[in-house]
């Protein structure tokens, strides 16, 4: 008497038989037939041909039969839209049924039928159900709005369902509230700009009340919604935290993790001195640890999140090291995550325990795990200096086991230890060399070669060792080849007399017999370096290397902060922001931790997006460009120190200078130095990109230039300044300026080719910037730019690009590409190019606005050495779109009241006081966005003085 009987088929043809049964007069037979149809559906059989017959069974008093038919409908309505219409009448009728269960069932099912034609019939019943007396029906209807929105968003808006849904947030029944929140969150997700979930202290209070009473799933929706709210100050943050903390004791781990997210985010706003802050830290540890005793799948997700939490606030779990110890029958994915967290928590206090564990793991069965454990020992050595010695001896013990993969991993990590603690552990090199023959993995071979090359002077037979690798040079993987090349060059520089032959051999192998461009290129560079200036070569190749640090494997802080906002989501599992894997950019809002407010210092809260940055409003193309460029700028070409790019830029610049200069002289002065080799410059030979920031600073004196020709027909135009010197850009020199003429902004560029080869394929991109400046057209250089040729280009700009607040506000980071490489520079644009033509404000309006803007937004500046009278100033400013609204004479001083508007709609009101005979004038600026005042002042100064 089980359902498996429904799976039996007859020879005649299943569909045929079912059809007959469905049309039977006997109720019971019908029901059995529908059950058979459903059974077929569960195993993926196509029974859509029975559509009309099944729908005919819909009109019934039997609830089970009705439910079964509904199940069928949901599956197949989409493939038979015309037939599905047949069902509409029954739905509409069921929505009026006295039994709330049937009303809810009908409205729920209707929403699942994703057929456009049906939706219009759905509206009326849905409207009724949203106001139904029974909360069960209301909560079902709330979800239905989300379903309908997914099918036809416009319809939902037109019908006013969104407002009804918002009203349901104040419903008396907590389940209805939870479902309304869930539905609104889902709708909001696809419309990030809409202000659907208008979170304010009142609505937050309602949510917090509902939180205590609704089901576990509803709690998750509410908590996730709360996490999007930014409290106005630390007191509000604390009071929300207090009301959320009890959720940490919930049996449902998803509730717990959502609560952790809210707390981690709002904690950011609390001062560390607060007693409550400490209490909260203590409360967070137990629930996180408890998650680790759940099923392995839950553990995995929890561990990925704990990994983030430990990086953000290590103090939470610092005493809980032991719970991350690995049990031998943990699934491998749990083992690997635990190991990672163990290293993050390792400190001087617990390192002995950790090492003992790691050593234990290194003898386990699972190869991947053993490898990672060995690597972890190395990471401990780098992280906890006091333990380095013990780690090294542990690694040596492991090498003695002679287990092949253990030895290889150990060598790879010992190389890193050498890099962290130079001249300390080299005594172990002899032991390492004994294992040379057993190394068969590229990474281990490369590491060994690096060690031999780096310490060539201490290894008597270094030349023999390296030579032995050279025999099979072409069979090696690229990383081994590159290391071998470098290693032998190092050896040669250290012991030039005995190894001349060897170095020639490797150079010719690399340059002539290899078709790997990386290898060939590196080979040539060494060759030229060595043949031009061996001393310089020594300085370059044997240069002191920066130490590696423990921080290398930490997540970059801004990304970490963003990920903390996504605790519990897929993003937290992959440690990537959702923007990295949600297609189309739709629905992606970058989240950031709230800034600390009130009394506490704000230095602790990194990277808060400017409040005004409108997310996701730009056309798709622009943000993608922005991202791309952001990527380029983040490319870490320097040492792997994961500090923000700016702080490392000096190091990087150093490297670039070294090369840029050296290379130029190599190629420019002595092209014959290439020797007899038939060297053709590869089409993209280049120097790595440098960050443009330091160059940009040279531009700050731009405004002091007093000469220059202002065009009368438009705003003042500064003379061109060199933005990118040829030295930094492989011979490409870029100078330029910004202009504004009849409403259009352009960037006037002058490109000069100071290299010896022809340049082609120019392209330009901007990084996101404060006012969304972006190229409105591609950079058009029509003919190739031959050496010593200069070309002038005017690049039209638009202001619809991605917006990101820059520091300083008018900073613009630019990337220019040509056939040689990509170059970066940054420049400051004068703000007046953003002053729009319709910036003249009506007098009344001016007066009202002036009064309306609070006095603390007023900024006052002195403009010195500007012997102009009021008329001259007015006309000069007018040509740059600063309009004089009114003029007054007070006690011999001329007061000019002026207005201007920026491209992004920000109004700036000004009062300019000019005194005849006094070369200084006073400028008072009022603006709702006071941060622009400084730049407006600079614009004034520039315009008036030119």
Partner 1 sequence: MIDRVGVFEAVNQAISWALRLRVLAAFSASSASVRRGPGAESLTGTGVGKMIHSLFLINCSGDIFLEKHWKSVVSQSVCDYFFEAQEKAADVENVPPVISTPHHYLISIYRDKLFFVSVIQTEVPPLFVIEFLHRVADTFQDYFGECSEAAIKDNVVIVYELLEEMLDNGFPLATESNILKELIKPPTILRSVVNSITGSSNVGDTLPTGQLSNIPWRRAGVKYTNNEAYFDVVEEIDAIIDKSGSTVFAEIQGVIDACIKLSGMPDLSLSFMNPRLLDDVSFHPCIRFKRWESERVLSFIPPDGNFRLISYRVSSQNLVAIPVYVKHSISFKENSSCGRFDITIGPKQNMGKTIEGITVTVHMPKVVLNMNLTTTQGSYTFDPVTKVLTWDVGKITPQKLPSLKGLVNLQSGAPKPEENPSLNIQFKIQQLAISGLKVNRLDMYGEKYKPFKGVKYVTKAGKFQVRT
Residues 790-829 within binding reach of partner 1 (CB under 8 A):
815, 817, 821-822
List 16, 27, 646, 916, residue binding partner 1 (CB under 8 A):
27
Instruction: Name residues whose C-beta falls within 8 Å of residue 349's C-beta, 6 or more positions apart in sequence.
Output: none
* Tokens representing residue 886 in the block: 């009114």
User: What distance in Å separates the CA atoms of residue 148 and residue 108, rounded to the nearest whole number?
Assistant: 11
Q: Which stretch binds partner 1 (CB under 8 A): 342-350, 539-547, 710-718, 727-735?
A: 539-547
293 in contact with partner 1 (CB under 8 A) = yes
User: How far, CA to CA in Å, does 714 sit from each of 302, 330, 870?
Assistant: 61, 72, 20
Cα 714 to Cα 739: distance, rounded to the nearest angstrom? 8
Residues 430 to 489: which contact partner 1 by CB under 8 A?
A: 443, 446-447, 450, 479, 482-483, 486
Q: Which is nearer to partner 1, 48 or 934 (CB)?
A: 48
Stretch that binds partner 1, among 458-466, 684-692, 798-806, 898-906 (CB under 8 A): 684-692
Least distance CB 363 / partner 1 (angstroms): 5
Q: Identify which of 162, 128, 151 has the alpha carbon closest to the alpha carbon of residue 81.
A: 151
Binding to partner 1, residues 832-891 (CB under 8 A): none
Exactly one of 92, 589, 632, 895 binds partner 1 (CB under 8 A); that residue is: 632
CB contact set of 403 (below 8 Å; sequence gap of 6+): none
Shorter beta-carbon distance to partner 1: residue 552 or 860: 552
By beta-carbon proximity to partner 1, the closer residue of 20 and 763 is 763
Asked if residues 354 and 342 have their Cβ atoms less than 8 Å apart, the reply is yes
Residue 251 found at the interface with partner 1 (CB under 8 A): yes
Give the Cα separation of 808 and 876 in Å (integer).
26
CB of 217 to partner 1, least distance (A): 4
Q: Determine contact, residues 91/121, Cβ cutoff 8 Å.
A: yes
The least distance separating partner 1 from the CB of residue 263, rounded to whole angstroms, comes to 16
Q: Is residue 633 at the binding interface for partner 1, with CB under 8 A as the rule?
A: no
Interface with partner 1 includes 249 (CB under 8 A)? yes
The arrangement of strands across the sheet holding 907-914 comes to 858-863, 921-927, 907-914, 893-901, 883-890
| Per CB under 8 A, 287 contacts partner 1 | yes
> Among 833, 945, 801, 848, which residue's Cα sits nearest to residue 900?
833
822 backbone dihedrals φ, ψ, rounded to 5°: -110, 135
* Residues between 2 and 21 with contacts to partner 1, criterion CB under 8 A: 2-4, 6-7
Of the candidates 385, 620, 837, 842, which one interacts with partner 1 according to CB under 8 A? 620
Segment 267 to 286, residues that bind partner 1, using CB under 8 A: 286
Among 197, 433, 637, 868, binds partner 1 (CB under 8 A): 637
Task: Report residue 472 CA to chain centroid gap.
Answer: 43
Half-sphere exposure of 770 (CA within 13 A, CB side): 21
Distance (Å, whole) CA 234 – CA 204: 15
- Contacts to partner 1 from residues 899-928, by CB under 8 A: none
Q: Which of residues 729-758 bind partner 1 (CB under 8 A)?
A: none
Gap between the Cα atoms of 686 and 115, Å rounded: 57
Is 710 one of the binding residues for partner 1 (CB under 8 A)? no
**Is 265 strand, coil or helix?**
helix
User: What sign does the dihedral 502-507-508-514 (CA atoms) show?
Assistant: positive
Name the segment binding partner 1 (CB under 8 A); options: 226-234, 319-327, 595-603, 837-845: 319-327
By CB under 8 A, tell whether 239 contacts partner 1.
no
DSSP H or E run through 284 = helix 275-291
Asked if residues 939 and 912 have their Cβ atoms less than 8 Å apart, the reply is: no
Closest CA to 833 of 710, 721, 922, 735: 710
257 lines the binding site for partner 1 (CB under 8 A) = yes
Task: State how far the Cα of 507 lies from the Cα of 525, in Å rounded to an integer.
Answer: 10
What are residue 759's phi and psi, to 5 degrees?
-110, 135
Q: Which of 115, 391, 525, 939 binds partner 1 (CB under 8 A)?
A: 525
Tokens of 487: 């290693």
Residues of this chain, 88-147, that bind partner 1 according to CB under 8 A: 99-101, 108, 111-112, 114, 134-136, 139-140, 143-144, 146-147
The site that binds partner 1 (CB under 8 A) totals a number of residues, namely 172
Chain Cα centroid distance, residue 395? 37
Window 384-423: contact mask with partner 1 (x via CB under 8 A): -----------------x-x--------xx-xx--x----
* Binding test (CB under 8 A) with partner 1, winner from 80, 215, 558, 608: 215
DSSP H or E segment with residue 941: helix 933-945
Cα dihedral 819, 824, 825, 828 sign: positive
> What is residue 272's three-state secondary structure?
coil
Which of 324, 907 has the CB closer to partner 1? 324
244 touches partner 1 (CB under 8 A): no
* Spatial distance between the Cα atoms of 382 and 286, rounded to a whole number of angstroms: 30
Contacting residues for 131 by C-beta, under 8 A, at least 6 apart: 138, 164
CB-side neighbour CA atoms (13 Å) of 662:
20
Q: How many C-beta atoms lie closer than 10 Å to residue 874's C-beta?
A: 20
Return the range that interacts with partner 1 (CB under 8 A); candidates 386-394, 542-550, 692-700, 797-805.
542-550
Q: In whole angstroms, how close is the CB of 188 to partner 1 at the nearest point?
A: 9
**At residue 351, what are phi and psi to the nearest 5 degrees?**
-65, -35
Q: Which is nearer to partner 1, 724 or 900 (CB)?
A: 724
Rule CB under 8 A: is residue 518 a binding residue for partner 1?
yes
220 makes contact with partner 1 (CB under 8 A): yes
**Least CB distance to partner 1 at residue 901 (A):** 30
Give the binding range for partner 1 (CB under 8 A) out of 196-204, 620-628, 670-678, 890-898: 620-628
Instruction: For residue 253, state whether it binds partner 1 (rule: CB under 8 A).
Output: yes
Q: CA–CA separation, 76 vs 136, rounded Å? A: 27
Residue among 485 and 833 whose Cβ is closer to partner 1: 485
Determine, following the binding rule CB under 8 A, whether residue 546 of this chain makes contact with partner 1: yes
| CB 142, CB 183: distance < 8 Å | yes
Q: Which of residues 137-196 bind partner 1 (CB under 8 A)?
A: 139-140, 143-144, 146-147, 150, 173-175, 179, 182, 185-186, 189-190
38 binds partner 1 (CB under 8 A): yes
C-beta of 67 vs 720, nearer to partner 1? 67
Any idea of the CA torsion for 592, 557, 764, 716, to the nearest 10 degrees?
70
Interface residue with partner 1, options 628, 681, 705, 872 (CB under 8 A): 628
Q: Mark residues 687-706: x for contact with partner 1 by CB under 8 A, - for none.
A: xxx-----------------
Query: Out of 231, 578, 775, 830, which residue is the one contacting partner 1 (CB under 8 A)?
Result: 578
Q: Is 302 in the site for partner 1 (CB under 8 A)?
A: yes
Nearer to partner 1, 766 or 771 (CB): 766
Q: Which 594-613 residues touch partner 1, going by CB under 8 A?
A: none
- Window 322-341: contact mask with partner 1 (x via CB under 8 A): xx-x-xxx-xxx--------
């Amino acid at each position: 008497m089980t359902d498996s009987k429904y799976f039996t088929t007859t020879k005649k043809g299943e569909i045929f038989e079912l059809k007959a049964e469905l049309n039977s007069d006997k109720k019971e037979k019908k029901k059995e037939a529908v059950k058979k149809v459903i059974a077929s559906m569960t195993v993926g059989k196509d029974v859509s041909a029975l559509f009309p017959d099944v729908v005919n069974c819909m009109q019934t008093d039997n609830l089970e039969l009705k439910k079964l038919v509904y199940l069928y409908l949901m599956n197949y309505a989409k493939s038979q839209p015309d037939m599905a219409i047949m069902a509409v009448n029954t739905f509409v009728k069921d929505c009026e049924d006295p039994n709330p269960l049937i009303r809810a069932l009908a409205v729920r099912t209707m929403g699942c039928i994703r057929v456009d034609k049906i939706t219009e019939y759905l509206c009326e019943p849905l409207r009724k159900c949203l106001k139904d007396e029974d909360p069960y029906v209301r909560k079902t209807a709330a979800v239905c709005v989300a379903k309908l929105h997914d099918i036809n968003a416009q319809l939902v808006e037109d019908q006013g369902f969104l407002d009804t849904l918002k009203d349901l947030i104040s419903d008396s029944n907590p389940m209805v509230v939870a479902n309304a929140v869930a539905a609104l969150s889902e709708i909001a997700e696809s419309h990030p700009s809409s202000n659907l979930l208008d979170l304010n202290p009142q609505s937050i209070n309602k949510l917090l009340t509902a939180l205590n009473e609704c089901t576990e799933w509803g709690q998750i929706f509410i908590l996730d919604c709360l996490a999007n709210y930014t409290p106005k100050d630390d007191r509000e943050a604390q009071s929300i935290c207090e009301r959320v903390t009890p959720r940490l004791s919930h049996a449902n781990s998803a509730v717990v993790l959502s609560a952790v997210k809210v707390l981690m985010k709002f904690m950011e706003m609390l001062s560390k001195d607060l007693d409550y802050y400490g209490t909260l830290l203590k409360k967070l540890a137990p629930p996180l640890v408890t998650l680790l005793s759940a099923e392995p799948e839950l553990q995995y997700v929890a561990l990925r999140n704990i990994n983030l939490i430990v990086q953000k606030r290590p103090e939470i779990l610092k005493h809980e090291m032991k719970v991350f110890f690995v049990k031998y029958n943990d699934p491998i994915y749990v083992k690997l995550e635990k190991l990672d967290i163990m290293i993050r928590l390792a400190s001087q206090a617990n390192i002995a325990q950790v090492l003992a564990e790691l050593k234990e793991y290194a003898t386990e069965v699972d190869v991947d795990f053993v490898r990672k454990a060995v690597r972890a020992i190395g990471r401990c050595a780098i992280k906890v200096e006091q333990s380095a010695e013990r780690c090294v001896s542990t690694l040596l013990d492991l090498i003695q086991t002679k287990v092949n993969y253990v030895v290889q991993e150990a060598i790879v990590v010992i190389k890193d230890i050498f890099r962290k603690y130079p001249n300390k552990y080299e005594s172990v090199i002899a032991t390492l060399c004994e294992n040379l023959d057993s190394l068969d993995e590229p990474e281990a071979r490369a590491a060994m070669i690096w060690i031999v090359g780096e310490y060539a002077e201490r290894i008597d037979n270094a030349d023999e060792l390296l030579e032995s690798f050279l025999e099979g040079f072409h069979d090696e993987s690229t990383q081994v080849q590159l290391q071998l090349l470098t290693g032998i060059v190092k050896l040669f520089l250290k012991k030039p007399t005995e190894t001349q032959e060897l170095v020639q051999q490797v150079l010719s192998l690399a340059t002539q017999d290899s078709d790997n461009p990386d290898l060939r290129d590196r080979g040539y560079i060494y060759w030229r370096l060595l043949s031009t200036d061996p001393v310089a070569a020594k300085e370059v190749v044997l240069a002191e290397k920066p130490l590696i640090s423990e921080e290398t494997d930490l997540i970059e802080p801004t990304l970490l902060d963003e990920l903390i906002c996504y605790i519990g989501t897929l993003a937290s599992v992959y440690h990537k922001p959702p923007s990295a894997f949600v297609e189309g950019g739709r629905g992606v809002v970058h989240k950031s931790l709230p800034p600390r407010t009130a009394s506490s210092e704000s230095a602790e809260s990194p990277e808060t997006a400017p409040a005004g940055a409108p997310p996701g409003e730009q056309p798709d193309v622009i943000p993608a460009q922005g991202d791309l460029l952001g990527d380029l700028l983040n490319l870490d070409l320097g040492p792997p120190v994961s500090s923000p790019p700016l702080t490392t830029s000096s190091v990087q610049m150093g490297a670039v200078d070294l090369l840029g200069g050296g290379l130029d002289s190599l190629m420019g002065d002595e092209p014959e130095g290439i020797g007899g080799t038939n060297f053709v410059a590869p089409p993209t030979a280049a120097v790595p990109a440098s960050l443009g920031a330091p160059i940009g600073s040279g531009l700050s004196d731009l405004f002091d230039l007093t000469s220059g020709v202002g065009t009368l027909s438009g705003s003042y135009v500064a003379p061109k300044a060199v933005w990118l010197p040829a030295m930094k850009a492989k011979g490409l020199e870029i100078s330029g300026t910004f202009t504004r003429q009849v409403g259009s902004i352009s960037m006037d560029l002058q490109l000069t080719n100071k290299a010896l080869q022809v340049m082609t394929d120019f392209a330009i991109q901007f990084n996101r910037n404060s006012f969304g400046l972006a190229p409105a057209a591609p950079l058009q250089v029509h003919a190739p730019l031959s050496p010593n040729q200069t070309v002038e280009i005017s690049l039209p700009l638009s202001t619809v690009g991605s917006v990101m607040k820059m520091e300083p506000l008018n900073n613009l980071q630019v990337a220019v590409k040509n056939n040689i490489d990509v170059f970066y520079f940054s420049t400051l644009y004068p703000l007046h190019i953003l002053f729009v033509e319709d910036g003249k404000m009506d007098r009344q309006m001016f007066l009202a606005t002036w009064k309306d803007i609070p006095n603390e937004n007023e900024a006052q500046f002195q403009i010195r050495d500007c012997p102009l009278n009021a008329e001259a100033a007015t006309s000069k400013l007018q040509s740059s779109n600063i309009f004089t609204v009114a003029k007054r004479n007070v006690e011999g001083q001329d007061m000019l009241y002026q207005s201007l508007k920026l491209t992004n709609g920000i109004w700036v009101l000004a009062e300019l006081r000019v005194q005849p005979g006094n070369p200084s004038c006073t400028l008072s600026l009022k603006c709702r966005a006071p941060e622009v005042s400084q730049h407006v002042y600079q614009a004034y100064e520039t315009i008036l003085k030119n």
